[in-house]
């Protein structure tokens, strides 16, 4: 019968135990109070809640822990943990929790504080997830990258200019062409996004009237909310052919629609709102008294912006540029669709070049064997990418903190 099945399954039993604890603890404390609820350190309901938490929280932690062990088992070539071990361990823990909670339900037991301890431990567990994520990111890439470097010399990886993976086993996996492509695309993107974004921010905070602000700000926010796959398609279908037909071919610079210029221009458009909103914050943080002082001395608005506001907001703006650079380096879809897969180092921006992120995708979604250096190189690339973006973010944070003017 499904009722029996439900109740003999783990969730069913835990629910029953929790209910038992809820009622049992309240009954016990009612009896101990001998009719006078005011003598209790905590209301019966608090005892009940504590009991429920005592059953469920340890059981949940136990279940998650043992499931992980079960999942990992086959990977580490140890015997798999049988299901019934998990079942009975969790059940035992839950029963213990129930019994202990009921026993503790005395007159002087501060049940409210006890249940808050459980809840706090859940909150802490949630915070730990954030740390675990970072640890996970670093570890996941570190181990596989180490496997890679065991099979391929790090000097060849970091200093070779030849990227040519193949199935024969004698691939050259040089990092430099990818680095070149990444930096070139990011450079073009920033060359577009920083002036446009900065001037847009200056205009909106210093010159624009309320109705202009009411139109332009949402417009820029819309640009910010567009997913990168849309920009990627835009690069592939519209910008690429346009640049090829009107610039690259007439100038004799190449015939490829996928190029550094294509990806760079589209990435620049994507970064405009990023630079603009961060610069806007930095500019608005400059107090109005600075502007008043400058105007009172007879400066025009542009002079005030150039000589007073921008120097004062410079740390924030530098931070914005660095963060935008970090975003540009880590961007994937725009370059996958816009820049092409040819790993080469050339000065011609209308040629197809590739970046670190494109190769991570291509090496991890190909058909090669997972343990081969051609696949493992993706982890080394990922680790390098992570290190770069981390460094840029750290420098951005430092610059803003160290040089920010203390106005008060």
Partner 1 sequence: MTSPTKSLFVQDERVKRRNAAEKRFHSYGLCAIGVAALALVVLLASVLANGASAFRQTYLMLEIPLPAETLDKGGDRDPAAMASVSTFGYAPLLRDALVASIAKLNIETTLSNKDVGDMISKEAAASLRNQVLANPDLVGGVIALDVLANGRIDGFFKGRVTMESAERDGNTSPEALRVAQLLADVGVLVTRFNWQFLTAPDASDQRPEAAGLGVAILGSLYMMLVVLVLALPIGVAAAIYLEEFAPKNRVSDLIEVNISNLAAVPSIVYGILGLAIFINFLGLRQSSPLVGGLVLTLMTLPTIIIATRAALKAVPPSIRDAALGLGATKMQSVFHHVLPLAAPGILTGTIIGLAQALGETAPLLLIGMVAFVRDYPAAYSETAGLFGEAATALPVQVFNWTQRADPGFVERASGAIITLLVFLAVMNTVAVLLRRRFERRW
Partner 2 sequence: MMKVNTLIQPNPDMAVPKITARNVHVSYGDSVAIKDVSVGISANTVTAFIGPSGCGKSTFLRCLNRMNDTIETCRVSGEILIEGEDIYHRSVDPVQLRAKVGMVFQKPNPFPKSIFDNVAYGPKIHGLARNKADLDNIVENALRKAALWDEVKDRLNKTGTGLSGGQQQRLCIARAIATSPEVLLMDEPCSALDPIATAQIEELINDLRENYCVVIVTHSMQQAARISQKTAFFHLGSLVEYGDTDQVFTAPSDPRTESYITGRIG
Q: Are 40 and 28 in contact (CB under 8 A)?
A: no
- Which residue has tokens 């430099």? 176
Q: What distance in Å separates the CA atoms of residue 286 and residue 307, rounded to the nearest whole number?
A: 13
CB of 298 to partner 2, least distance (A): 4
Q: Are 51 and 24 in contact (CB under 8 A)?
A: yes
Q: Which of 71, 292, 370, 387 binds partner 2 (CB under 8 A)?
A: 292
- Which residue has tokens 């567990």? 125
Q: Which does 204 bind (CB under 5 to 8 A by kind): partner 1, partner 2, none?
A: partner 1
The reply on whether position 402 binds partner 2 by CB under 8 A is no
CB of 162 to partner 1, least distance (A): 23
Burial label for 84, CB within 10 Å (0-12, 13-18, 19+), is: exposed
Residue 378 makes CB contacts below 8 A (sequence gap 6+) with 359, 360, 363, 364
CB of 248 to partner 2, least distance (A): 45
Question: Which of these segments, 75-83, 105-113, 257-265, 296-304, binds partner 2 (CB under 8 A)?
Answer: 296-304
Q: Are 266 and 334 in contact (CB under 8 A)?
A: yes
- Which residue's CB is nearer to partner 1, number 88 or number 199? 199
Q: Which does 401 bind (CB under 5 to 8 A by kind): partner 2, partner 1, none?
A: none
> Across-strand partners of 164?
172
Question: Which of these segments, 18-26, 167-175, 176-184, 301-309, binds partner 2 (CB under 8 A)?
Answer: 301-309
Distance of CA 231 to the CA centre of its chain: 20
CB of 373 to partner 1, least distance (A): 16
- Number of H-type helices and E-type strands within the chain: 17, 2
CA atoms within a 13 Å half-sphere pointing along the CA-CB vector of 386: 17
Helical axes 176-202 vs 310-330, angle rounded to 10°:
140
- Which residue has tokens 């624009």? 208
- Which residue's CB is nearer to partner 1, number 35 or number 298? 298
Q: Which of 51, 283, 312, 322 binds partner 2 (CB under 8 A)?
A: 312
Q: Which does 72 bind (CB under 5 to 8 A by kind): partner 2, partner 1, none?
A: partner 1
Residue 41 tokens, joined: 């350190």
Q: Which of 259, 279, 294, 363 binds partner 2 (CB under 8 A)?
A: 294
Q: Rule CB under 8 A: which of 164-223 touch partner 2?
A: 209
CB of 281 to partner 2, least distance (A): 18
Q: What is the size of the binding site for partner 2 (CB under 8 A)? A: 21
CB of 292 to partner 2, least distance (A): 6
Residue 47 tokens, joined: 């005892």
- Which residue's CB is nearer to partner 1, number 51 or number 360? 360
CB of 290 to partner 2, least distance (A): 6
CA atoms within a 13 Å half-sphere pointing along the CA-CB vector of 226: 20
Contact string (CB under 8 A) for partner 2, positions 238-277, x = contact: ----------------------------------------
Q: Rule CB under 8 A: which of 63-92 touch partner 2?
A: none
Q: Is the dihedral of CA 15, 18, 20, 26 positive or negative?
A: negative
In the complex, which residues of this chain contact partner 2 (CB under 8 A)? 209, 287, 289-300, 303, 307-308, 311-312, 405-406
């Amino acid at each position: 019968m499904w009722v029996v099945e439900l109740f003999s399954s783990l969730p069913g039993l835990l629910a029953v135990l929790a209910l038992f604890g809820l009622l049992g603890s309240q009954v016990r404390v009612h009896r101990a109070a001998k009719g006078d609820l005011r003598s209790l350190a905590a209301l019966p309901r608090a005892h009940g809640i504590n009991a429920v938490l005592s059953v469920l929280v340890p059981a949940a932690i136990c279940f998650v822990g043992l499931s992980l062990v079960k999942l990992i088992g086959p990977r580490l070539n140890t015997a798999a943990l049988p299901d019934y071990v998990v079942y009975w361990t969790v059940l035992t823990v839950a029963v213990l929790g129930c019994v202990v909670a009921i026993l503790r339900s005395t007159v002087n037991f501060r049940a409210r504080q006890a249940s808050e301890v459980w809840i706090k431990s859940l909150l802490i567990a949630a915070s730990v997830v954030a740390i675990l994520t970072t640890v996970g990111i670093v570890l996941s890439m570190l181990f596989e990258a180490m496997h890679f470097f065991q099979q391929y010399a790090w000097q060849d990886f970091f200093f070779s200019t030849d990227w040519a993976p193949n199935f024969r086993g004698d691939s050259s996996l040089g990092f430099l062409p990818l680095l070149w492509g990444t930096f070139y695309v990011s450079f073009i993107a920033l060359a577009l996004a920083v002036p446009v974004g900065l001037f847009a921010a200056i205009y909106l905070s210093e010159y624009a009237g309320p109705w202009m602000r009411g139109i332009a700000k949402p417009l820029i926010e819309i640009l910010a909310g567009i997913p990168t796959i849309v920009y990627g398609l835009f690069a592939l279908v519209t910008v690429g052919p346009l640049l090829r037909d009107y610039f690259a071919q007439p100038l004799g610079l190449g015939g490829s629609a996928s190029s550094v210029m294509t990806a760079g221009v589209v990435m620049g458009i994507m970064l405009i709102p990023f630079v603009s909103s961060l610069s806007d914050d930095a500019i608005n943080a400059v107090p109005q008294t600075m502007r008043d002082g400058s105007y009172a001395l007879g400066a025009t608005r542009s002079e005030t912006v150039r000589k007073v506001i921008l120097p004062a907001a410079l740390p924030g703006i530098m931070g914005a540029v660095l963060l935008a650079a970090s975003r540009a380096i880590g961007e994937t879809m725009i370059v996958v669709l816009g820049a092409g897969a040819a790993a080469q180092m050339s000065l011609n921006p209308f040629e197809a070049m590739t970046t670190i992120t494109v190769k991570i995708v291509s090496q991890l979604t190909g058909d090669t064997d997972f343990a081969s250096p051609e696949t493992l190189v993706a982890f080394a690339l990922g680790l390098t990418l992570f290190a770069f973006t981390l460094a840029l973010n750290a420098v951005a944070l430092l610059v803003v903190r160290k040089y920010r003017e203390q106005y008060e």
